[in-house]
Amino acid sequence: MSIDPSLLLPLGWSNEFHRQLTLEQLESLRPARVIGVAQDHYRVATGSGEHIATLAGRLRHGHGESLTRPTVGDWVLLEQDAPLIVERLEPRTLLLRRGAGGSAPQAIAANVDVMLIVSGLDAEFNLHRIERYLVVAAEAGVTPVVLLTKADLCPTAEPALAAVRQRLPAAGAVFAFDARQAPLTELLAPWLTAGNTLVVAGSSGVGKSTLINNLSGSALQSTQATRRDAKGRHTTTARTLIPLAGGACIIDIPGMREVGLPPSAGAVDAHFHTLHELAAHCRFADCRHEEEPGCAVRTAAERGELDEDEWQHYRKLLAEERHNIAAHERHQQERIFGRMVRAVKKEKERQGRR
């Protein structure tokens, strides 16, 4: 028996993961959580120590789709006496973003419960940027908590708080504070429960590291994310998942600074569910709420029953989602076609040799 839950629980282990293991795996493998990812290696924590692990070939070549590869927050199984990842456990939640040029969506973090969406009140307040993160959170089924930092540099936080409240789902929350001073462990206590994993999202300079240092009570976040040796290779994998004293874990990932919507139909509607429900009354099931007759959403907008900005942003994000889905489909078709061409070539070569 190689599993000691008391060591794994502070890393976010739960019955959901335990149930995925076969008896044989329980006896011969070790669970570990991915706490940092680099090009070809992973920093993992087992509860009794940290290792730099590599990926078994089978997981590495998972049909070229990046989603079969572990990401930060994933639970994996290691060989008993080597830091080799041989299995990735099914994640509870998976935060996704658009892949470049229509490639497969990329996993940003796994097994996340709460997304802390950070925005500074010192610069121009950007509700749309916050709302993009709200879409990503809604799609993944993650609770959003919006944190407006640098309240000390802004005469009043009230208008920004009110604007965010209008767009938040019922389960969400919003706060404004000075991230250097605020008693964040108390303020965020409802989301910092043991076993919860929080991810920090927001542009550079908004105070993400300040927040994490405040929560962890130390200056963990002052170090560089990656170091390179003389040949420019990554020599260390930064820890991006940090266990907090109260039993929650927090993830800070550079990749959360800008988020392209994942090519998943329904992601935008998952956040704008009021508009989505209204759209159920459109005459056409695939109504784009543009020029179609009998469009319930446009009718409500024309009657002034919708928030104009919300409605416009909804349409913009829907169009972007459609574009990303189409780009992804095209990309997949090209890959399938490429494989066919290669197979035909190979077959011809084989016949030519006869």
- Of the candidate residues 55, 115, 287, 301, the single one contacting Zn ion (CB under 5 A): 287
Phi-psi region of 109 (alpha: psi -120 to 50; beta: other; left: phi over 0): beta
The answer to the question of residue 209 lying near Mg ion (CB under 5 A) is: yes
And the tokens for 206? 């908004």
Among Mg ion, ligand GDP, Zn ion, none, the one that 179 touches (CB under a kind-dependent 5 to 8 A) is ligand GDP
Strands (DSSP E) contained in 100-218 are 106-110, 114-120, 143-149, 173-176, 197-201
For ligand GDP, the binding residues in 157-196 under the rule CB under 6 A are 178-180
Task: Give the max Cα distance, the chain.
Answer: 82
The answer to the question of residue 93 lying near Mg ion (CB under 5 A) is: no
Q: Which residue is nearest to Mg ion (CB)?
A: 209
The answer to the question of residue 295 lying near Zn ion (CB under 5 A) is: yes
Looking at beta carbons only, is 77 or 188 nearer to ligand GDP? Answer: 188
Among Zn ion, ligand GDP, Mg ion, none, the one that 206 touches (CB under a kind-dependent 5 to 8 A) is ligand GDP
The answer to the question of residue 106 lying near ligand GDP (CB under 6 A) is: no
237 touches 95 (CB < 8 A): no
149 touches 177 (CB < 8 A): yes
For ligand GDP, the binding residues in 221-250 under the rule CB under 6 A are none
Residues 244-283: x where in contact with Zn ion by CB under 5 A, - otherwise, as a string: --------------------------------------x-
Among Zn ion, Mg ion, ligand GDP, none, the one that 178 touches (CB under a kind-dependent 5 to 8 A) is ligand GDP
And the tokens for 268? 């935008």
Q: How far is the CB of 256 from Mg ion (least distance, A)?
A: 11
What is the C-alpha separation between 233 and 237, in angstroms, rounded?
11
Applying CB under 5 A, which part among 46-54, 121-129, 234-242, 295-303 lies near Zn ion? Answer: 295-303
Q: Which residue has the tokens 């041989």?
A: 86
What is the C-alpha separation between 335 and 329, in angstroms, rounded?
10
Phi then psi for residue 242, to 5 deg, are -120, 120
Applying CB under 5 A, which part among 168-176, 293-301, 306-314, 326-334 lies near Zn ion? Answer: 293-301
Applying CB under 6 A, which part among 24-32, 207-215, 224-232, 287-295 lies near ligand GDP? Answer: 207-215
- Of the candidate residues 109, 116, 206, 282, the single one contacting ligand GDP (CB under 6 A): 206
Name residue 50's beta-bridge partners.
45
And the tokens for 98? 């658009």
53 touches 32 (CB < 8 A): yes
Phi-psi region of 232 (alpha: psi -120 to 50; beta: other; left: phi over 0): left
Applying CB under 5 A, which part among 128-136, 184-192, 202-210, 257-265 lies near Mg ion? Answer: 202-210
The answer to the question of residue 209 lying near ligand GDP (CB under 6 A) is: yes
Who's near 159: CB < 8 A, 6+ residues apart?
125
- Of the candidate residues 150, 289, 298, 315, the single one contacting ligand GDP (CB under 6 A): 150
And the tokens for 77? 């199984």
Phi-psi region of 73 (alpha: psi -120 to 50; beta: other; left: phi over 0): left
Among Mg ion, Zn ion, ligand GDP, none, the one that 196 touches (CB under a kind-dependent 5 to 8 A) is none
Looking at beta carbons only, is 40 or 277 nearer to Zn ion? Answer: 277
284 touches 126 (CB < 8 A): no
And the tokens for 166? 């209008």
And the tokens for 312? 């416009």
Among Zn ion, Mg ion, ligand GDP, none, the one that 297 touches (CB under a kind-dependent 5 to 8 A) is Zn ion
Applying CB under 5 A, which part among 27-35, 65-73, 205-213, 297-305 lies near Mg ion? Answer: 205-213
- Contacting residues toward Zn ion, per CB under 5 A: 282, 287, 289, 295, 297
Q: Applying CB under 6 A, which residues contact ligand GDP? A: 149-150, 152-153, 178-180, 202, 204-210
Q: Which residues sit at the interface with Mg ion, rule CB under 5 A?
A: 208-209
